[in-house]
């Protein structure tokens, strides 16, 4: 077991290193840089253009005039030595990329948590039901409902929800907080307010996720249901429900455990679109803006953090799986 963990850890570091290379490369791919964008932004709103001198000057100021490998080296050494991921160009006063990301994470986590909750609450029962009652009308109806969420493009769903709240409840549900409370420090009221606004994004993101889970659960369970040990248990005289949950469901859960690790990064990436439409102060849009503005340290830092989260997540869920499944633990 410990040997296993050690090996995995080593791999992990290697992976992360490669990812730093990749994420930095990705940022450098597009033509132009932050300064080009800045000017473009001005042109877009105003039609005013910058004189070349100022660009040159800006590039110098942001260190964009150096060759890429130098930039990468500086970036890395800052991360390793100073723990600094580099300041954002866009946000002012300049903030360290990771601070920015970290700032948005609590909300992101809350959102992800509730979405996840919704997903599981909807998907697992449906999945189990439609496996146990395979090909029954119930099966069809349940899965149909489960898939609807997947089939509707989520940005549309979000926009429609928002419009409905405006049209029929008089108040469009925008963002995650009411205007008056948004700047207040965290308090019980703020939390309640959050919950009131949370439902649209949770529903939108959640419904999108259910289908996959239903499918997995259904398939895994169908798989387990005809394993001999089920028959053994039945021959013992166990009640069907007890039997179902103690044996096949328990087994069918394992594949989920192995994916838990990716859920957060997945949601962060997946939530971007919804967050943009619903104007949520989550980390997704920060990433998106950073990429659009070529705010390279934030973008690179973000990709790095996301990837590392994934890697660690995978690692953890492998361990968790090992803990849960004796076969892995003991062999």
Partner 1 sequence: MDKIVPFSEAGSVKPEQAIGNITTDSHELEVASQWKLIWWKFRRHKVAMAGGLVVLAYYIVALFANFFAPVHFETYQETYVYAPPQQLHFFRDGQFFPHVLGYSFERDPESFKKTWTINEEVVIPVSFFYHGEPYMLWGLIPSDLHLIGTANPEAPFFLLGADKSGRDLFSRIIFSSQISLTVGLVGVTLSLLLGIIIGGISGLIGGPLDNGIQRLIEILISIPTLPLWLALAAIVPLDWTPLQVYLMITVILSLIGWTGLARVVRSKFLSLREEDFILAARLDGVPQGRMIFNHMIPSFLSHIIATVTLAIPGMILGETALSFLGLGLRPPVVSWGVMLQETQKVVVLATYPWLLYPAVAIIVVVLALNFLGDGLRDAADPY
Partner 2 sequence: MNKFVRQLMFVIVLLSVVISACAPATPTVPPVEEEPTVAPPPDVTDTPAAPPSEFSESPMLAEKVAAGDLPPVAERLPENPKVVKSLSGEQGVYGGELRTGFTGNSPDWGVFTFLNTFEGLVLWSTDFQTVEFNLAESVDVSPDAKEYTFHLRKGLKWSDGQPYTADDIMFYIEDVLYNKELNPTPGADWLPAEQRDGFKAEKIDETTVKFVFPNAYGTFLYNLTAFNGRYFAMYPKHYLMQYHKTYNDKIDDLVKEDGDVPDWMALFHKKGPDNWANPLRTMDNPETPVMYAWKVTQPLGSGTTIRFERNPYYWKVDEQGNQLPYIDTLVGTNYQDNESRTLAMLNGDLDYITNPPPGDRTLFYDAVAEGKSIMIKNPKSDGANTASLHFNQTFGDPVKAEVFSNLDFRIGMSYAIDREEIIEVVFAGQGTPAQIAPLEDSPLYIEGMDTQYTEYDVAKANEHLDKVLPEKDANGMRLGPDGKPFQIIFTVQNDLGFGTYYVQLVELLIGYWKAVGVDVVLSSQPGPQHDENKRKNLLEAEIFTGEGGAGITGILDPRYYAPFAGAGIWNQGWSVWRTPDPTGASVSVEPPQWAKDAYAKYDAVTKEPTLEGQIEKMKIVLQEAKERLYVIGISRPGDLYAVFHSRLGGIPETWYDGWLEGPTKIIRPEQWFLKE
Partner 3 sequence: MSEKLIEIKDLKIHFFTDEGVVRAVDGLDLTIEKGKTLCLVGESGCGKSVACRALLQIVRSPGKIVSGEILYNHRLGNGTEEIVDIAKLAPTGRQVRSIRGKEISMIFQEPMTSLSPMYTVGNQIIENIQLHNKMPDKAARELAISLLGQVGIPKPDRLVDEYPFRLSGGMRQRAMIAMALSCNPTLLIADEPTTALDVTTQANILDLMKNLQAKYDMSLLFITHDLGVVAEIADDVAVMYLGKIVEKSDVNTIFNAPKHPYTQALLNSIPKITMKREELDPIKGMVPNPYRRPGGCPFHPRCPKAMPECQTVEPAVTKLGENHFVQCLLYENLPGKPALVAENRELSGVVND
**Which stretches of the chain bind partner 3, using CB under 8 A?**
226-229, 231-240, 246-247, 250-251, 325-327, 330
Q: Which stretch binds partner 1 (CB under 8 A): 68-76, 116-124, 287-295, 320-328?
A: 287-295
Please choose which of partner 3, partner 1, partner 2, none residue 216 contacts, taking the beta carbon within 5 to 8 angstroms, the exact cut-off set by kind: partner 1
User: Helix crossing, 2-28 with 68-77: angle to 10°?
Assistant: 140
73: left (phi over 0), alpha (psi -120 to 50) or beta: alpha
Q: How far is the CB of 144 from partner 1 (least distance, A)?
A: 7
| For partner 2, the closer CB: 32 or 106 | 32
Q: Considering Cα of 112, then 116, then 117, then 118, what sign does the dihedral take?
A: positive
Q: Which of 55, 253, 288, 328 binds partner 1 (CB under 8 A)?
A: 288
| H/E segment holding residue 136 | none
Q: Please report whether residue 223 would count as binding partner 1 according to CB under 8 A.
A: yes
| Total chain residues near partner 1 (CB under 8 A) | 66
Cis peptide before 93 (omega within 30 of 0): yes
Distance CA 242, CA 329 (A): 26
| For partner 1, the closer CB: 214 or 244 | 214
192: left (phi over 0), alpha (psi -120 to 50) or beta: alpha
| For partner 2, the closer CB: 38 or 126 | 38
Q: Please report whether residue 38 would count as binding partner 1 according to CB under 8 A.
A: no
Q: Give every CB contact of residue 308 below 8 A, 6+ residues apart in sequence.
A: 16, 19
Q: Which of 54, 113, 140, 191 binds partner 1 (CB under 8 A)?
A: 140
Q: Considering Cα of 160, then 163, then 167, then 171, what sign does the dihedral take?
A: positive
| For partner 2, the closer CB: 45 or 330 | 45
Please choose which of partner 3, partner 2, partner 1, none residue 11 contacts, taking the beta carbon within 5 to 8 angstroms, the exact cut-off set by kind: partner 1
Intra-chain end-to-end CA distance of the chain, in Å: 9
Q: Are 293 and 89 in contact (CB under 8 A)?
A: yes
Please choose which of partner 1, partner 2, partner 3, none residue 92 contacts, taking the beta carbon within 5 to 8 angstroms, the exact cut-off set by kind: partner 2
Please choose which of partner 3, partner 2, partner 1, none residue 239 contacts, taking the beta carbon within 5 to 8 angstroms, the exact cut-off set by kind: partner 3
Q: Are 308 and 13 in contact (CB under 8 A)?
A: no
* Helix-then-strand count for the chain, H and E: 14, 0
Q: Are 258 and 321 in contact (CB under 8 A)?
A: yes
Please choose which of partner 1, partner 3, partner 2, none residue 238 contacts, taking the beta carbon within 5 to 8 angstroms, the exact cut-off set by kind: partner 3
Interface residues with partner 1 (CB under 8 A) are 11, 14-15, 18-19, 22-23, 26-27, 29-31, 134-135, 140, 143-144, 147-148, 150-156, 159-160, 162-163, 166-167, 211-212, 215-216, 218-220, 222-223, 226, 255, 259, 262, 265-266, 268-270, 272-273, 276-277, 287-288, 291-292, 299, 303, 306-308, 310-311, 314
């Amino acid at each position: 077991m410990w040997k296993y963990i050690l090996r995995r850890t080593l791999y992990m570091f290697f992976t992360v290193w490669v990812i730093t290379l990749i994420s930095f490369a990705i940022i450098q791919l597009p033509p132009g840089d932050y300064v080009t964008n800045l000017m473009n932004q001005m042109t877009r709103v105003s039609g005013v253009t910058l004189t070349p001198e100022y660009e040159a000057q800006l590039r110098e100021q942001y260190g964009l005039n150096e060759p890429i490998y130098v930039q990468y080296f500086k970036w890395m050494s800052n991360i390793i030595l100073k723990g600094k991921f580099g300041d954002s160009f866009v946000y002012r006063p300049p903030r360290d990329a990771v601070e920015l990301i970290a700032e948005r994470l609590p909300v992101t986590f809350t959102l992800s948590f509730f979405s996840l909750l919704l997903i599981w609450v909807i998907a697992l029962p449906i999945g189990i039901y439609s496996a146990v009652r395979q090909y029954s009308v119930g099966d069809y109806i349940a899965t149909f409902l489960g898939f609807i969420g997947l089939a509707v493009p989520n940005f549309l769903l979000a926009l429609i929800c928002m419009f409905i709240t405006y049209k029929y409840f008089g108040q469009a549900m925008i963002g995650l907080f009411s205007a008056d409370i948004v700047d207040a420090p965290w308090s019980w009221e703020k939390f309640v307010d959050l919950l009131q606004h949370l439902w649209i994004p949770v529903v939108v993101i959640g419904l999108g996720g259910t289908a996959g889970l239903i499918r997995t659960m259904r398939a895994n369970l169908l798989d387990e249901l005809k394993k001999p040990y089920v028959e053994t248990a039945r021959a013992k005289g166990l009640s069907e429900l007890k039997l179902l949950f103690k044996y096949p469901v328990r087994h069918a859960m394992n594949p989920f455990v192995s994916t838990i690790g990716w859920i957060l990064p997945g949601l962060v990436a997946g939530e971007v679109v919804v967050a943009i439409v619903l104007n949520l102060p989550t980390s997704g849009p920060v990433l998106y803006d950073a990429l659009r503005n070529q705010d390279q340290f934030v973008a690179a830092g973000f990709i790095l953090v996301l990837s590392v989260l994934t890697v660690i997540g995978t690692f953890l869920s492998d361990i968790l799986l090992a803990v849960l499944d004796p076969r892995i633990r003991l062999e």
